Amino acid sequence: MRAAVNASITTIVVALGLALGTAAVLRWTTFGTSMRAVADDPDAARLWGINVNRVMAVSWVAGSAMGAIAGVLITPRINFDPSSLTIVVIDAFTAALIGRLTSLPWTVVGAMFLGLAETYPRIFSSTAGMGQAVTFALVLLTLAILFRPGARLAQRISAAREYAPVPATDNAPVRRMIAIEAIGLAVFAPVLLSSYYQSLAAYALIVGLIVLSLVVLTGLVGQVSFCQYSFAAIGAFTVGSLVGGHGWSFWPALVLGVVFSIGVGVLVGIPALRLSGLFLAILTIAVALFFDKFLLAPGTWDSFSGGISSWTVGRPSFLGASLAGSYAFYVFTLGVFLLAALAVWNLSRSKTGRVLRAIRNSEIAAATSGVNLTAWKLVAFGISAGLAGLAGGLLAAAVGSVSAGAYGFQQSLSVVAIAIVVGVRSVAAAAVGGIFLIFGPELLTHTPLSTLWFPLIVGALLIVQVILTPQGVVPDWQERFRRRFPPPPRFPDAPEPATLPKLAASEAPTMVKV
């Protein structure tokens, strides 16, 4: 007991000492003044002769050192796992937002307030995740109400390198032929596989739907989301509760799950209208962790339909054909994925898609052109959540039951990372992302490596991809294909030969006799 008290006192002293030391450096040293100048305007700081790159590098080192010290102090108090550390990062960022990213005293006060807000509910309530749920509610409140980032700050933080779109080429016949061959291969190749791998292929297509939902929200509109599996959980839990708990047919339950997912997506999109970039990412992470630690916590649904342990979802029939077999269900999920991909592809090429891309490129320019940013962003959130909810309902049927652990924040984080690696603006990349997420860990089981290495591999690929192929792997392949097989040159049509007018007999030239 005494050791715990001493450890707590040490933590408080170190935290306050670091806060006071940081404040002193920022206020009374030349380097601190340079840091504040770079944070305010890097270009102006360069004009004053400040080495911006050096200041940024030292700031990164100092921040990493403080993070390491915090990790040493907090590890004895939490379970050492990625989820718990992510929650700590969210709490820390929320405390910084309470200080409006400028005030160290208010940041310290905000951190202490968040710590108390997470601790006291555990004393008065035994509900799992209640303390963390209160914390995430405070995160949403801080982001959506207390903090409204200025235009310059939001623009600087959310700025991402834009790349010129690849010019369209007239090789549509070649693309059409490749698409037909790929679809034919996808339909008939799994016949040669066992039922286990056919089921994995169906799971890959379902995960591909979730990646496709990110293509709509992030690829078209530029809105970041780390809570796509939370939307999928809405669809899965709706199907599970109605089919397994109340005896509904699968198809009405699936439709209702998609509708509920769209509604939740729009609700999440309302506070997101005020945010962009990093702030929007933090908001969606808070939503995902709220689902993960409270709504999907063990015991939360035990009083509803007997708890999720009793929800069994059988595979339905479609047009009189049973989907109970692995290959039949795979073909069905392939058809659903192709229809959804075709719809998203047509959306991206339509007038609506041009409006969404205009919002992604410049919200100010789009608003000046008369685009209703609020309406179109909510439409994008709704479509994206609907696709994710559809995937969740299909996943419940594929597995045969509903498990809260299948829709956690870690799954959302993985799908975002894979979407960025394969190309978040490419419809074709959605299928590649789903295949990689499902068959990647399966491939590791046949090697000396453990599946625990898969997140590390994804992280390494993400770093390499950002450096080498910022647009994504699949768009890079498509660009290489266009260069390798360019369309035949098109020459202008040759003009028709000029014809001389015919003269009448009376107009015929006459010979002059001399």
Question: At 127, is the pLDDT very low, low, confident or very high (cuts 50, 70, 90)?
Answer: low
One domain, residues 152 and 201: no
Residue 99 lies in a domain: yes
Could you tell me how far CA 35 lies from the centroid of its own chain? 31
- Could you tell me if 227 and 153 lie in one domain? no
Contact 423, 462 (CB under 8 A): no
Is residue 167 a part of any domain in this protein?
no
Residue-level length of the chain: 514
Burial of 321 (0-12, 13-18, 19+ CB in 10 A): exposed
Q: How far apart are CA 252 and CA 449, in angstroms?
A: 43
Residues 154 and 188 in one domain: no
Residue 153 has pLDDT above 70, yes or no: no
Of 158, 190, 205, which residue sits at a domain end? 158
508: buried, middle or exposed (CB in 10 Å: 19+, 13-18, 0-12)? exposed
The tens digit of pLDDT for each residue in 200-210 reads: 999 999 999 99
Residues 148 and 226 in one domain: no
The reply to whether 166 falls in a domain is no
490 belongs to a structural domain: no
Residues 379 and 453 in one domain: yes
pLDDT in tens, 286-344: 888 788 777 776 665 554 444 555 578 888 888 888 888 889 999 999 999 999 999 99
Whether residue 217 sits in one domain with residue 145: no
Let me know whether 127 and 257 are in one domain: no
- Point out which residues pair with 431 in neighbouring strands: none
CA 234 distance to own-chain centroid: 17
The reply to whether 514 falls in a domain is no
Structural domains in the chain (count): 2
* pLDDT mean over 237-242: 89
User: Is 482 buried (19+), middle (13-18) or exposed (0-12) by CB count in 10 A?
Assistant: middle
pLDDT in tens, 386-432: 999 999 999 999 988 887 778 888 888 889 988 888 888 888 888 88
Secondary structure in 3-state letters for 138-196: HHHHHHHHHCCCCHHHHHHHHCCCCCCCCCCCCCHHHHHHHHHHHHHHHHHHHHHCCHH
Query: The domain containing residue 232 runs over which residues?
Result: 181-484
Q: What percent of the chain lies above the pLDDT cut of 90?
A: 17
Is there a single domain that holds both residue 185 and residue 131? no
Look at the pTM and tell me if it is higher than 0.85.
no
Identify whether residues 195 and 273 lie together within a single domain. Answer: yes
Q: Could you tell me if 121 and 131 are in contact, meaning their C-beta atoms sit under 8 angstroms apart?
A: yes
| CATH number reported for the structural domain that contains residue 392 in this entry | 1.10.3470
Domain contains 173: no
Instruction: Quote the Cα angle for 36-40-45, to 5°.
Output: 80
Determine the pLDDT at residue 33: 86
Q: Is residue 169 part of a domain?
A: no
Q: What percent of the chain has pLDDT over 70?
A: 77
Q: What is the DSSP string of 287-313?
A: HHHHIIIIITSTTTTTTSTT-GGG-B-
Structure-block tokens of residue 244: 């397994």
321 membership: H or E segment, kind and range: strand 321-322
pLDDT confidence band for 485 (50 / 70 / 90): low
Do 154 and 186 lie in a common domain? no
Reported as a pLDDT band with limits 50, 70 and 90, residue 441 is confident
In a domain, 165, yes or no: no
Grouping H, G, I as helix, E, B as strand and the rest as coil, residue 318 is strand
The answer to whether residues 7 and 141 belong to one domain is: yes
Burial of 354 (0-12, 13-18, 19+ CB in 10 A): exposed
Cα separations in angstroms, 360 against 157, 367, 373, 385: 15, 12, 10, 18
Question: Can you tell me the distance from the alpha carbon of 143 to that of 409, in angstroms, rounded to the nearest whole number?
Answer: 19
146 with 193, same domain: the answer is: no
Where b means 16+ CB within 10 Å and e means fewer, 118-141 reads: beebeeeeeeebbbbbbbbebbbe
